[in-house]
Structure 1
Amino acid sequence: MKKILCLYSTREGQTKKIVEHIVAQLDGYESEFVDLHLHPKLNLALYDKVLIGASIRYGRLHQSLYQFIDHHARQLDEANAAFICVNLTARKEEQKKDTPEGSVYIQTFLRQSAWQPKLIGVFAGALRYPRYRFFDRMMIRLIMKMTGGETDTSKEVEYTNWHKVDLFAQKFKDM
């Protein structure tokens, strides 16, 4: 059976949920899920495909992602590997913030990363106010107010466009 390695960096779980959704559409693959925050050192050659998903918090990807890439850059270049970035800005599809070209986060990632993925997806995440610590809840509320988003801190809102995720899954399957 073919094997897929699914690496994720997530805060409240939406990135992992999206990665799981993508992998569920890949028939015939045995999947292994690994939290990037654990700083794993893996042999990527053991896998037929590699999917890395990371979320943005306060405008940045977690340092664990860059540490993993720095350690595995050559293997990632040789692998059938794809990258997805999950962030709340991507909810602005009409402004193309959900595309690699329109995402400032992806453009920054590509400048800072030793790896240049062959396939990149950008997806809106979820707003989970009740799950955040007080400080995070207030800071994210301020950011959402400035960007025209939901500010009711009693709500949880999922902005993920699942149809778009399905289209990415097909591209990933075909690579």
Structure 2
Amino acid sequence: MDRILIAYTTEEGQTAKICGRIAERLAAHAFDPVIHNIRVDKSVPNRLTGAIVAGSVHLGAHSRALAAFVRDNREKLSALPSAFISVSLQSASPDADERDEVRSVAEDFLAETGFKPLFLHTAAGAVHDARIGPLRRVVLHWILRRRGVDLDPSGDTEFTDWTALDRFVDEYAHALRGEEELGAPRLEA
């Protein structure tokens, strides 16, 4: 079975949840997903068919741990049919300029690390009140309420568009199977 690396960092857990969904979707396409939390396992296994790297944006940047992992492994990752998924609350914004800004952050990360994936996807994250500090929670709630967002009373408000993520993973899987032409990068929002 073709093995696909899913390497990620997560701050509050939404990127991990997204990667779990990616793994399920890849398994449905008869791939063998190999999930690595970069903070726990920095290795890149051998005998891979592809790789997906995912990380969240906080304060306008991806984590240092993610950047170090990608820099240390960029040749191996770039040699594979690979994808980068950038997770940010701003990806759910109705404002096109804000979504473009998220894409710019992802593109800057790729340029700074030298990683050249064939696919780029931006995904909206979530606000998990129990996993963030009180000051950050107050600030995020204030910003979101000003934008007219109704927060879930449970304290867990997801913005991830699971349908768009599934479509992205399906496209990636079809490309790996040769059902779509690989070559020109598919860099989508």
TM range, normalised to the smaller chain? 0.7 to 0.9
Distance in 2 (CA, whole Å) between partners of 1:126 and 1:102 is 15
Number of the residue aligned with 1:21: 21
Alignment of 1:125-144 (within 5 A): 125-144=125-144
Distance in 1 (CA, whole Å) between partners of 2:167 and 2:97 is 16
Distance in 2 (CA, whole Å) between partners of 1:112 and 1:123 is 20
Answer whether contact 1:5 1:33 (CA < 8 A) is retained: yes
1:75 Cα deviation from its structure 2 partner: 0.7
TM-score (norm 2): 0.79
1:131 Cα deviation from its structure 2 partner: 2.7
Alignment of 1:3-18 (within 5 A): 3-18=3-18
Answer whether contact 1:39 1:64 (CA < 8 A) is retained: no
| Compared CA separation, residues 58 and 152, structure 1 to 2 (3 A) | farther
Identity %: 24
Distance in 2 (CA, whole Å) between partners of 1:98 and 1:161 is 14
Number of the residue aligned with 1:41: 43
Distance in 1 (CA, whole Å) between partners of 2:97 and 2:23 is 25
| Compared CA separation, residues 148 and 112, structure 1 to 2 (3 A) | farther
Distance in 2 (CA, whole Å) between partners of 1:37 and 1:105 is 21
Q: Using the TM superposition, name which of 151-160 and 78-87 deviates more.
A: 151-160
Number of the residue aligned with 2:58: 57
Q: Cα RMSD between the aligned structures?
A: 2.5
1:152 Cα deviation from its structure 2 partner: 8.1
Q: Which runs of 5+ in 2 are unaligned?
A: 176-189
1:18 Cα deviation from its structure 2 partner: 1.3
1:119 Cα deviation from its structure 2 partner: 0.1
1:87-107 deviations in whole A, cap 9, x for unaligned?
1000115517556x8623213
Q: Which runs of 4+ in 1 moved over 4 A?
A: 96-99, 145-154
What SS does the corresponding residue of 1:75 show, helix, strand or coil? helix
Answer whether contact 1:39 1:68 (CA < 8 A) is retained: no
2:38 partner letter: L
1:50-109 deviations in whole A, cap 9, x for unaligned?
11110112222110111011111111111121110111000115517556x862321321
Count of residues in Structure 1 that have an aligned counterpart in Structure 2: 173
Distance in 2 (CA, whole Å) between partners of 1:152 and 1:17 is 18
Number of the residue aligned with 2:159: 159
1:39 Cα deviation from its structure 2 partner: 5.7
What SS does the corresponding residue of 1:37 show, helix, strand or coil? coil
Number of the residue aligned with 1:73: 74
1:69 partner letter: V
| Compared CA separation, residues 18 and 93, structure 1 to 2 (3 A) | farther
Distance in 2 (CA, whole Å) between partners of 1:82 and 1:41 is 17
